[in-house]
Structure 1
Amino acid sequence: MMRDMQRRKKILMVSCQHWLSPIQVGDHLLARQFLAAGWQVGFISDPVTPFHLVKGFELKPRLKNYLSGGVRGNGGDLWGYVPGGLVMPYNVSFLKNRWVHSFWQNLTFPNLIRQVRKNGFAEVDVLYFRTSKQAFWLDKIKSNVSVFRVADNDSGFFDYNDEVRRREQALVQRADLTVYTSKPLEDYVTRLNPRDTLYLPNGVEFDFFSAPTNKPSEYKEFSGPIAVHVGSVLPERFDFELVDLLTVKFPEVQFVFVGPDEALRRRLHQRPNLHLLGPRPYELISGYMQHADVGLILLDIEKNPVLVNSTNPLKLYQYLASGLPVVSMAWDVLTDLAPPTCLAKNRDEFARYLGHVLSERCFDPAELMAYAKKFDWQSQFNHLCSRIEMISEKKRVNEDASGF
């Protein structure tokens, strides 16, 4: 009752992914923490455009969201919206030019800025960005504190170009706080000349992933051990060759992939022990981890060292919180974190570690879960909120001192 009588805090979050995407990234997981703390959350994704009719990825759910004016949840405290427009910035042809980057929001129908204001987010306590494509919000709505979260070295993605770099730097220099998720990203962020920074590694919803769940129906049809990969497959950093090697070397192991699988279907050789299940609702994915025998992290550091060396993978913490042993390629972030995980220097060593984990059952689930618990999102959220409050208080003091 007291919470309803007080002014509710609001945050507008700008993400590349839409709210109901099967790929739930750090933006979604932080949004859930804000909701649990009593905030009202607006969650805006990249727009859907006519060009998505060609690409097709997640077209149907995004169109449904757009046509319905967004989704509501959490007792009305959440509004998740996919804008609709004629164009959006992309690293091809005329879509990468400065005009599109600057004015694409003016070609949204209904107008994106009016939609956000209409839904109660004309003034917010926090304005949060994961992408610089929507940096215009700094000039379109009133916010007390602005936060830019750098989750990857985006220069390693296909969609990165000089205009993206220019806008990323401009956003970092205007945002009150730039958050980065791995130690190697510190240098990347520092070179963009931020006003203030915070190291905030990825985390895990520990209670969700550690709570026992039923075995997925698909697993009941398999014989032999199960090696699972849950999450996105980005061609810029995924090791397709390693998967082909493993499926041949371990014919008795069922290799299961849960998540968008378009790239996998194009790039992998189809084999009897390769199972591409496609996306599953987020609330079900812990079961695919808990009832597997090993979790796989399949990034190709040789193909894209810039991107991979800055990656702090969410699935590492999710696997471990589920009590699932993990085999991964080694790179800087994981070496520094030193998790109770097999970290391979090359594909042959990866295969040896996989065979060892499956034959020896050498990891104690309790030890794995204890490590993951240290990275619970609640702790990360509290750290972020403390810094936001410090910035907000500093602004109040400066305003009082200036007489405004």
Structure 2
Amino acid sequence: MLTLICFSINNWEKRKARKQQFMLSLAKRQDVAKVVYVEPALNLWRLIFSPGEELKDKGNQRRWLRALRFSYELAPEVQKLIILTPIFFLPFAFRLPFIYQLNLYLWLKFIRRKLKGLGFKEVILWLYNPYDFKLLSWFRQRCLAIFDWAEDWPEYFRDYPKRLREFLSRAQLQCIKEADLVFTVSVHLLKQAKVINPNTWLLRDGTNWEYFVKPKLYYTPADLKDIPHPILGYVGTVSFRFDAALVLALSQRLVYASIVIIGKILTLTPEIRLLQERKNVYFLGEKDYSELGGYLNNFDVCILPYLTEVKTPAPTKIYDYLASGKPIVSTSILELGFLSDYIWMARNYDEFTGFCVQALKENNAVKQRLRIEKAQENSWDKRADEIMEFVRNLLVKKGIEAKI
């Protein structure tokens, strides 16, 4: 059976998105022996000089414990998934790519011994971070290499210096060229990658729809109890894509509605500060994925206030929104066009406000059922089926179908 080793760009965290969900669903399969989830590396120098910051929460403490012990941990969700946390000993790894590569090479020496000890064979290497492109040359004990192009990384890390963004551009191009199989999160990225590597395929995000329709989720979380309805709710990170000016205008126009934002603030702009001062806007912080059903079931309308001038893949949470059955109002994100029958898509502030008003009045059981059915068609487990079909076909072409 196959073993997947995923070098991720995200920690094994509360907000389980594409990277974690793919690996969880794959680990549940009978045709997969193990999944190794390699978190982004911790740097020893940060622990030495900023121990308070590095050890401020239990999640980070567990990561440091794994890293310093050179040990691994089994995911509580499925015992076939192993979590590894690398440690880098040389500083400035992300400022100077060659130092990152040196750190990675040294840590790879360790992981090779660890994998041999665990007896892994028929390994699929799965990459996300362009910084890890050297693994395509160094990690030879594999039957396939997959690059999941989940972001246009120079655009995503837009605050990086120009030289680093240029490096990211070259590195992600190298990953696309050298991978045996490339998945993209959007049509926009698919068109770019297909020219470079013909073995490129669109692989959209998914949902654990059952988290959002179980009767036990019909309760009111403690931090929602005192928030008056109607509730316009957003789930996701507050990053450069988040249109804070739109949400500010919405809070001013619909003063009778509460706007609830669930997720980590990554970019604290002046507009976000103004939002934090609004009496009808509530920032509730990041929640565990398993808790989201309780929140979405208390929303009256789910909103996606993203900047339209930023090229955005279909947001991961769109399928979670659909699974809740609640009306959805979004800005006109190009990549959401294929879902236009299920959501309101606004071209400007006036339309967004108007659609929210209409959505609050919706009382249509048929539309609710259709949204839930659409979510069920796009589960993470079904995405895992798609992944394994691509993998199986490619292994057959390589003449190693006996290993499946």
- Report the Cα distance in structure 1 between the residues aligned to 2:22 and 2:200, rounded to whole angstroms: 17
Is the 1:339–1:371 contact (alpha carbons within 8 Å) kept by the matching residues of 2?
no
1:244 aligns with 2:248: yes
- Report the Cα distance in structure 1 between the residues aligned to 2:114 and 2:380, rounded to whole angstroms: 27
Is the 2:300–2:360 contact (alpha carbons within 8 Å) kept by the matching residues of 1?
yes
Match of 2:320 in 1: 318
Match of 2:239 among 229, 234, 242: 234
1:276 aligns with 2:277: no
Match of 1:5 in 2: none
User: 1:244 deviation in Å?
Assistant: 1.2
Determine helix, strand or coil for the equivalent of 2:118.
coil
- Report the Cα distance in structure 1 between the residues aligned to 2:179 and 2:319, rounded to whole angstroms: 29
User: 1:278 deviation in Å?
Assistant: 0.9
- Report the Cα distance in structure 1 between the residues aligned to 2:262 and 2:256, rounded to whole angstroms: 19
Match of 1:44 in 2: 38
Determine helix, strand or coil for the equivalent of 2:124.
strand
More deviation in 363-372 or 176-185? 363-372
User: 1:359 deviation in Å?
Assistant: 3.1
1:201 aligns with 2:204: yes
Match of 2:8 among 4, 12, 15: 15
Q: Map Cα deviations across residues 21-55 of structure 1 (whole Å, 9 max, x no partner).
A: 12322111111111210431110121123459599
- Report the Cα distance in structure 2 between the residues aligned to 1:122 and 1:164, rounded to whole angstroms: 31
Is the 2:15–2:287 contact (alpha carbons within 8 Å) kept by the matching residues of 1?
no
- Report the Cα distance in structure 1 between the residues aligned to 2:333 and 2:212, rounded to whole angstroms: 25
Indicate how the Cα distance of structure 1 residues 149 and 59 shifts in structure 2: closer, same or farther if over 3 A, else same.
farther
Indicate how the Cα distance of structure 1 residues 296 and 174 shifts in structure 2: closer, same or farther if over 3 A, else same.
same
- Report the Cα distance in structure 2 between the residues aligned to 1:256 and 1:265, rounded to whole angstroms: 18
- Report the Cα distance in structure 2 between the residues aligned to 1:58 and 1:30, rounded to whole angstroms: 28
Q: Map Cα deviations across residues 358-396 of structure 1 (whole Å, 9 max, x no partner).
A: 134457321211222221222221111011011112212
Indicate how the Cα distance of structure 1 residues 325 and 168 shifts in structure 2: closer, same or farther if over 3 A, else same.
same
Match of 2:213 among 207, 210, 227: 210
Counterpart residue type for residue 37 of structure 2: F
- Report the Cα distance in structure 2 between the residues aligned to 1:397 and 1:78, rounded to whole angstroms: 24
- Report the Cα distance in structure 1 between the residues aligned to 2:40 and 2:119, rounded to whole angstroms: 17
- Report the Cα distance in structure 1 between the residues aligned to 2:54 and 2:278, rounded to whole angstroms: 25
Match of 1:288 in 2: 295
User: 1:357 deviation in Å?
Assistant: 1.1
User: 1:320 deviation in Å?
Assistant: 0.7
Determine helix, strand or coil for the equivalent of 1:22.
coil
Match of 1:103 in 2: 102
Q: Map Cα deviations across residues 175-232 of structure 1 (whole Å, 9 max, x no partner).
A: 11001122222222134x1151122111112222222303212222122211111122
User: 1:288 deviation in Å?
Assistant: 0.7
Cα RMSD after superposing both structures = 2.8
Matches within 5 A, 1:60-79: 60=57, 61-68=59-66, 69-73=71-75, 74=77, 76-79=79-82
Is the 1:238–1:300 contact (alpha carbons within 8 Å) kept by the matching residues of 2?
yes
Is the 2:24–2:78 contact (alpha carbons within 8 Å) kept by the matching residues of 1?
no
Please give the TM-score of this superposition, normalised by the length of structure 2.
0.85
- Report the Cα distance in structure 1 between the residues aligned to 2:253 and 2:60, rounded to whole angstroms: 39
Is the 1:327–1:343 contact (alpha carbons within 8 Å) kept by the matching residues of 2?
yes
Is the 1:122–1:141 contact (alpha carbons within 8 Å) kept by the matching residues of 2?
no
Counterpart residue type for residue 282 of structure 2: H
Determine helix, strand or coil for the equivalent of 2:35.
strand
Is the 1:257–1:275 contact (alpha carbons within 8 Å) kept by the matching residues of 2?
yes
Determine helix, strand or coil for the equivalent of 2:223.
helix
Match of 1:254 among 242, 250, 258: 258
Q: Map Cα deviations across residues 295-340 of structure 1 (whole Å, 9 max, x no partner).
A: 11121123x2xx32xx111111101111121110012211233241
Determine helix, strand or coil for the equivalent of 1:127.
strand
Matches within 5 A, 1:146-165: 146-157=145-156, 158=158, 159=160, 161-165=165-169
Match of 2:348 in 1: 346
Match of 2:174 among 140, 159, 170: 170
Q: Which runs of 5+ in 1 are unaligned?
A: 1-7, 400-404
Match of 1:223 among 228, 238, 241: 228
Determine helix, strand or coil for the equivalent of 1:396.
coil
Is the 2:251–2:280 contact (alpha carbons within 8 Å) kept by the matching residues of 1?
yes
Indicate how the Cα distance of structure 1 residues 359 and 265 shifts in structure 2: closer, same or farther if over 3 A, else same.
farther
Indicate how the Cα distance of structure 1 residues 383 and 218 shifts in structure 2: closer, same or farther if over 3 A, else same.
same
- Report the Cα distance in structure 1 between the residues aligned to 2:190 and 2:260, rounded to whole angstroms: 35
- Report the Cα distance in structure 2 between the residues aligned to 1:396 and 1:275, rounded to whole angstroms: 56
Counterpart residue type for residue 223 of structure 2: E
- Report the Cα distance in structure 2 between the residues aligned to 1:119 and 1:294, rounded to whole angstroms: 51
- Report the Cα distance in structure 1 between the residues aligned to 2:91 and 2:314, rounded to whole angstroms: 31
Is the 1:22–1:259 contact (alpha carbons within 8 Å) kept by the matching residues of 2?
no
Counterpart residue type for residue 283 of structure 1: S
- Report the Cα distance in structure 2 between the residues aligned to 1:57 and 1:226, rounded to whole angstroms: 36
More deviation in 28-37 or 261-270? 261-270
Determine helix, strand or coil for the equivalent of 1:275.
strand
Is the 2:237–2:266 contact (alpha carbons within 8 Å) kept by the matching residues of 1?
no
Is the 2:3–2:120 contact (alpha carbons within 8 Å) kept by the matching residues of 1?
no
Is the 1:66–1:81 contact (alpha carbons within 8 Å) kept by the matching residues of 2?
no
Counterpart residue type for residue 315 of structure 2: P
Indicate how the Cα distance of structure 1 residues 144 and 106 shifts in structure 2: closer, same or farther if over 3 A, else same.
closer
Counterpart residue type for residue 219 of structure 1: L
Is the 1:175–1:195 contact (alpha carbons within 8 Å) kept by the matching residues of 2?
no
Match of 2:126 in 1: 128
1:181 aligns with 2:185: yes
